Amino acid sequence: MASLSRTCLLRQASTCLRQSQPTPVQRCRNAALRRLLSTLAVLEQREGKLNMSSLASVSAAQKLGGTIHGIVAGSNVKPVAEEAAKVEGLEKVIFVENGAYDKGLPENYAPMLVENIKKGGYTHVLAGHSAFGKNLMPRVAAMMDVQQVSDITDVESEDTFVRPIYAGNAILTVQSVDSPKIVTVRGTAFPSGAAEGGSASVEEGVDPKAPCPTEWVSEDLAKSDRPDLATAEKVVSGGRGLKSKEEFDRLMPPLADALGAAIGASRAAVDSGFADNSLQVGQTGKNVAPQLYLCAGISGAIQHLAGMKDSKVIACINKDADAPIFQVADVGLVGDLFERVPELTEKLKSQ
Amino acid sequence: MSGLRILVPVKRVVDYAVKPRVNKAQTAVETSGVKHSMNPFDELSIEEAVRLRERKMPVEDILAFSAGPAKSQDVLRTAMAMGADRGILVVEEKTELEPLGVAKLLAKVVEDEKRNLVILGKQSIDDDANQTGQMLAGLLNWPQATQASKVDVEGDTCTVVREVDGGVETLRAKLPMIITVDLRLNEPRYASLPNIMKAKKKPLEKKTLADYGIDANKRLKTVKVTEPPPRQGGGKVEDVDGMISKLKELGAI
C-alpha cells in the first residue's frame, strides 16, 4: 500500500517536473520527490569479499537522490555487509545469509531479490552491468513485469536514463514508465564511490529459499597479479598484429608491467588464441575507460572501439597509417610493433 | 527421454559492419536503405542447434522464430538455409518490440510448440540490451545458462560452459532450459546455394501479436537519440620518444 501511494505521488510529481521551466514551487516538489525515492543497490560479493566495482550502482543511486539500501547474499556474508555499511551513501545494508547464493545463480537469487524488493517497496533497483548483473537482473525484471534499462551511462532524472546503443555509435535517452525501475549500470561511467565514511545499519533480509534447478559444477578463472581489466587505471591491449600467442606473451606483459597496467585484447587476438576470452575489450567483451589505453596491432573496428573509446587518453602503435584506430587515438605511432613495443617498454622502465 | 524440440529466436538488425547514423530528427538510428542481416549472435544459436542434430542428439525439430517487420522473413529463410526445419514470423511493422514483449511472445511460442530448449543470442547488436533470454527463463521459471561457450547435451541433462568476468564457469541443469550464446561457441556455416533453394520450400508461418494475445505497449519511451561526442584523434608522433613525451604532456603516465 505504501509503495503504491508512493508510486502515484512520484508519477504526479514527475509529470509536474516535465511541464516547463523550473519554478520555485517545482524545485520544492523536486526535493519532495527525491525524498520519496528509494533505491536498492545489488552488491556483489565473492568468497567474503565485497566487489568494489559493484559500488558503481551506489554512485548511480546517489545521482538519483533519495535513500539507498544495499543488499548482499551468500554464506558468512555478515562481515561483507559490515564492510558495505562503511560505503558512503548507504543508509542500510540488507544481508541474506545462505550459501545457496554464493555462486549468484539467478534461479534462486532472482526470487530472493524479488522478495526483498517487494518488502522494501523500492522505486529503483540498481546493479552493475557485470556478468553477474547481466545474468540476474533481466530475470528479476521479467518476474516483476518490468522492462529493464541496461548498461546506463548517466542518470537524467528519476525516470530518465542515458545508455549507448549500436555498439556505442548512438546514445539513447530513455524514459521508463515502470515501477520499480530496474537498471543496470556501466561501471566505468560512475565513480566507484568512497568505501569509507558511511555508517549504514545492517539488517537481515528475507530469504524465500527458492529451489535452484541449476547445479554449479566448476569454474576456471584466469589468475593474475595485474590490476582488474574493468577498473584498471591503465590498460595495454594487443590485437591481431601480434601474430601469435608467443609474441603476445613476449611483448604485452612486460609493457603492462612497465606501466602497472592491466592487459586487454581485441576479438581477433582472442579468437586466434593469443589471449584469454576474459580479456576481450569491446561491444561483446569488457567496457573499459582507463586513464590510458595503449594498444598495439589493433585496427580499431567499430566493435572494439565500443569498449574503449571513453578512455581518457588513447595511444596506439600500428603499421597501417590508415587504420581507423588513428582517428580516435590521441597519440598514434605508425610503426612496426615488434620493434616499437620493446623499445617503448625499455624506455618506460628506465624512466 | 523424448527428443529435443529446439526454438531459436532470430532478429533482423542493421548489419554489424555498417556504421550507424542517427537521423536528423534525433528520434532513432537511420535504418531505411541500410543493409540488414541476422544478428550475429543468432547465427551462432542456429549453428549450435544444427550441430546438436549433427552430433546425433535426438533433435525432433528446430523452429526458427522472428518478430518484426515483414522483411524479417529474410533472416528466417537464412536460418532455414542453415538447417532450421521451419519458421514462424510475427509480423509487427509499427512498434519495435522491447525485450520484455519478445520474452512474453517467446513464452507463448514455447508453450504452443512444446519446446524444451531455447537457444538465443546473448544480445542483439542494435539495442545491446542483453535481456531477452534471461527474461524468458524468468517468465517460464526454467534454468538458464547465459553467455555459453560450450554446450553438451546428454539425455535430458545439459552441461554448459559460460563466459564470466575473469574466466569461465560450468553449470548443469535438466531440460527444459534456456541458453544464450557467446561468440566463442562455434563458427556459423555459410548457407550453400542448394540449401538456400531448399529453404524456400520449408514452411514459414506468418502470425500477428494478436494471435498470441500479446500487448506490445512500450514501457520505455525514447526521449532522443544522439551521436556520441566525437573524439579528436589524429595526433601522430614520429617515434617512441615522441610518444612518451606526448603521454607525459597529457598526464597519462
pLDDT digit string (tens) for chain B, length 253 residues: 579 999 999 999 999 999 999 999 999 999 999 999 999 999 999 999 999 999 999 999 999 999 999 999 999 999 999 999 999 999 999 999 999 999 999 999 999 999 999 999 999 999 999 999 999 999 999 999 999 999 999 999 999 999 998 899 999 999 999 999 999 999 999 999 999 999 999 999 999 999 999 988 899 999 999 999 988 877 899 999 999 999 999 999 9
Residues A99-122, buried b or exposed e (16+ Cβ, 10 A)? Answer: ebbbbbbbbbbbbbbbbbbeebbb
Tell me, what DSSP letter sits at residue B22? B
Out of B128, B136, B184, name the one closest to residue A167 (CB): B128
In a domain, residue A52? The reply is yes
CATH of the domain at A293: 3.40.50.1220
Out of A145, A167, A278, name the one closest to residue B165 (CB): A278
Q: What distance in Å separates the CA atoms of residue B158 and residue B52, rounded to the nearest whole number?
A: 12
In a domain, residue A324? The reply is yes
Domain count, chain A: 2
Query: Taking CB atoms and an 8 Å limit, are B219 and A283 in contact across chains?
Result: no
Out of B134, B142, B172, name the one closest to residue A135 (CB): B134
Q: Which residues of A touch B121 (CB under 8 A)?
A: none
In a domain, residue A61? The reply is yes
Out of B22, B139, B184, name the one closest to residue A170 (CB): B22
What are the grid coordinates assigned to A176, written together? 521508463
Q: Is B78 exposed, middle or buried (0-12, 13-18, 19+ CB in 10 A)?
A: buried
Query: Taking CB atoms and an 8 Å limit, are B129 and A148 in contact across chains?
Result: yes
- Cα separations in angstroms, B85 against A43, B63, B67, B210: 44, 6, 17, 25
- Angstroms from A135 CA to nearest CA on chain B: 7
What are the grid coordinates assigned to B80, written together? 532455414
Q: Which residues of A touch B240 (CB under 8 A)?
A: 333, 340, 343-344, 347
Closest CA to A147 of A165, A164, A159, A132: A159
- Angstroms from A205 CA to nearest CA on chain B: 22
pLDDT band at A194 (very low <50, low <70, confident <90, very high): confident
| pLDDT attached to residue A15 | 46
Q: What distance in Å separates the CA atoms of residue B138 and residue A111, rounded to the nearest whole number?
A: 9
Q: Which residues of B touch A314 (CB under 8 A)?
A: 231, 233
- Pairing of β B59-68 and β B86-91: parallel
Residues A189 and A268 in one domain: no
Residues A343 and A298 in one domain: yes
Which pLDDT tens digit goes with each residue over A31-44? 666 668 999 999 99
Residues A182 and A245 in one domain: no
Tell whether residue A327 is among the known ligand binding residues: no
Residues A181 and A263 in one domain: no
Which pLDDT tens digit goes with each residue over A117-172? 999 999 999 999 999 999 999 999 999 999 999 999 999 999 999 999 999 999 99
Out of B29, B128, B219, name the one closest to residue A151 (CB): B128
Which candidate in A47, A51, A54, A139 is best for mutational testing of the B interface (most B CBs within 10 A)?
A: A139
Q: Is A236 exposed, middle or buried (0-12, 13-18, 19+ CB in 10 A)?
A: buried
- Angstroms from A136 CA to nearest CA on chain B: 7
Residues A41 and A174 in one domain: yes
Q: What distance in Å separates the CA atoms of residue A43 and residue A126, rounded to the nearest whole number?
A: 9
Q: What distance in Å separates the CA atoms of residue A259 and residue A348, rounded to the nearest whole number?
A: 7
Tell whether residue A224 is among the known ligand binding residues: no
What are the grid coordinates assigned to A160, written together? 530518465
Does residue A306 register a pLDDT over 60? yes
Q: Which residues of A touch B128 (CB under 8 A)?
A: 150-151, 164-167, 283
By the 8 A CB rule, do B253 and A348 touch?
A: yes
Rounded mean pLDDT of chain A? 91
Residues A243 and A164 in one domain: no
H/E stretch holding B148 reads strand B144-154
- Pairing of β B157-164 and β B220-226: unpaired
Which pLDDT tens digit goes with each residue over A6-26? 555 555 544 444 444 444 444
Identity (one letter) of the amino acid at A266?
S
Mean pLDDT of A83-106: 97
The residues near B29 (Cβ < 8 Å, ≥ 6 apart) are: A165, A166, A169, A170, B14, B20, B21, B22, B23, B126, B225
Residues A183 and A34 in one domain: yes
Residues A38 and A183 in one domain: yes
The residues near A216 (Cβ < 8 Å, ≥ 6 apart) are: A103, A105, B169, B170, B171
Out of A160, A220, A234, name the one closest to residue B168 (CB): A220
| pLDDT attached to residue A336 | 98
* Order of strands across the sheet that contains B204-207: A215-221, B167-174, B157-164, B144-154, B177-181, B117-121, B4-9, B59-68, B86-91, B204-207
Report ipTM for this prediction: 0.96
- Angstroms from B138 CA to nearest CA on chain A: 5
Query: Taking CB atoms and an 8 Å limit, are A213 and B170 in contact across chains?
Result: no
Does residue A193 register a pLDDT over 90? no
Query: Taking CB atoms and an 8 Å limit, are B234 and A166 in contact across chains?
Result: no
Q: What distance in Å separates the CA atoms of residue A119 and residue A139, rounded to the nearest whole number?
A: 18
Helix (H, G, I), strand (E, B) or coil at B133: helix
Q: Which residues of A touch B134 (CB under 8 A)?
A: 106, 134-139, 142
Residues A140 and A73 in one domain: yes
Residues A41 and A134 in one domain: yes
Q: What distance in Å separates the CA atoms of residue A114 and residue A111, rounded to the nearest whole number?
A: 5
Query: Taking CB atoms and an 8 Å limit, are A213 and B173 in contact across chains?
Result: yes
By the 8 A CB rule, do A43 and A70 touch?
A: yes
What are the grid coordinates assigned to A301, written together? 573496428
Q: Where are the domains of chain B?
A: 4-249
Tell whether residue A302 is among the known ligand binding residues: yes
Query: Taking CB atoms and an 8 Å limit, are A178 and B219 in contact across chains?
Result: yes
By the 8 A CB rule, do A117 and A208 touch?
A: no
* CA distance from start to end of chain A: 65
Query: Taking CB atoms and an 8 Å limit, are B131 and A175 in contact across chains?
Result: no
Query: Taking CB atoms and an 8 Å limit, are B166 and A278 in contact across chains?
Result: yes
Which chain B residue shows the shortest CA-CA distance from A328?
Answer: B233
Out of B134, B136, B169, name the one closest to residue A216 (CB): B169
Q: Which residues of B touch A144 (CB under 8 A)?
A: none
Closest CA to A56 of A160, A169, A195: A195
Q: What distance in Å separates the CA atoms of residue B183 and residue B189, rounded to the nearest whole number?
A: 14
Mean pLDDT of A326-338: 97
What are the grid coordinates assigned to A222, written together? 584466469
In a domain, residue A21? The reply is no
In a domain, residue A229? The reply is no
Q: What distance in Å separates the CA atoms of residue B130 and residue A149, rounded to the nearest whole number?
A: 10
- Angstroms from B163 CA to nearest CA on chain A: 7
Which residue carries 532470430 as its cell?
A: B10
Query: Taking CB atoms and an 8 Å limit, are B234 and A329 in contact across chains?
Result: yes
Out of A277, A329, A335, name the one closest to residue B233 (CB): A329
Q: What distance in Å separates the CA atoms of residue A175 and residue A167, rounded to the nearest whole number?
A: 20
Mean pLDDT of A300-319: 96
Closest CA to B182 of B168, B163, B159: B163
H/E stretch holding B78 reads helix B73-82
Residues B127-155, buried b or exposed e (16+ Cβ, 10 A)? Answer: bbbbbbbbbbbbbbebbbbbbbbbbebee
Query: Taking CB atoms and an 8 Å limit, are B219 and A135 in contact across chains?
Result: no
pTM (two decimals): 0.91
By the 8 A CB rule, do A107 and A210 touch?
A: yes
Which chain B residue shows the shortest CA-CA distance from A267?
Answer: B183
Residues A180 and A278 in one domain: no
Tell me, what DSSP letter sits at residue B151? E
- Chains A & B: contacts with CB separation below 8 Å: 267
Q: What distance in Å separates the CA atoms of residue A173 and residue A156, rounded to the nearest whole number?
A: 8
Q: Which residues of A touch B135 (CB under 8 A)?
A: 138-139, 141-142, 148
Helix (H, G, I), strand (E, B) or coil at B25: coil
In a domain, residue A62? The reply is yes
Q: Which residues of B touch A170 (CB under 8 A)?
A: 20, 22, 29, 225-228
H/E stretch holding B167 reads strand B167-174
The residues near A102 (Cβ < 8 Å, ≥ 6 apart) are: A74, A75
Query: Taking CB atoms and an 8 Å limit, are B149 and A277 in contact across chains?
Result: yes
In a domain, residue A149? The reply is yes
Under CATH, which architecture does the B4-249 domain have? Answer: 3-Layer(aba) Sandwich (3.40)
What are the grid coordinates assigned to A334, written together? 605508425
Q: What distance in Å separates the CA atoms of residue A101 and residue A98, rounded to the nearest whole number?
A: 6
Query: How many Cα atoms sit within 13 Å of A91 on the Cβ side?
Result: 12
Structural domain harbouring A44: 2-16+29-204
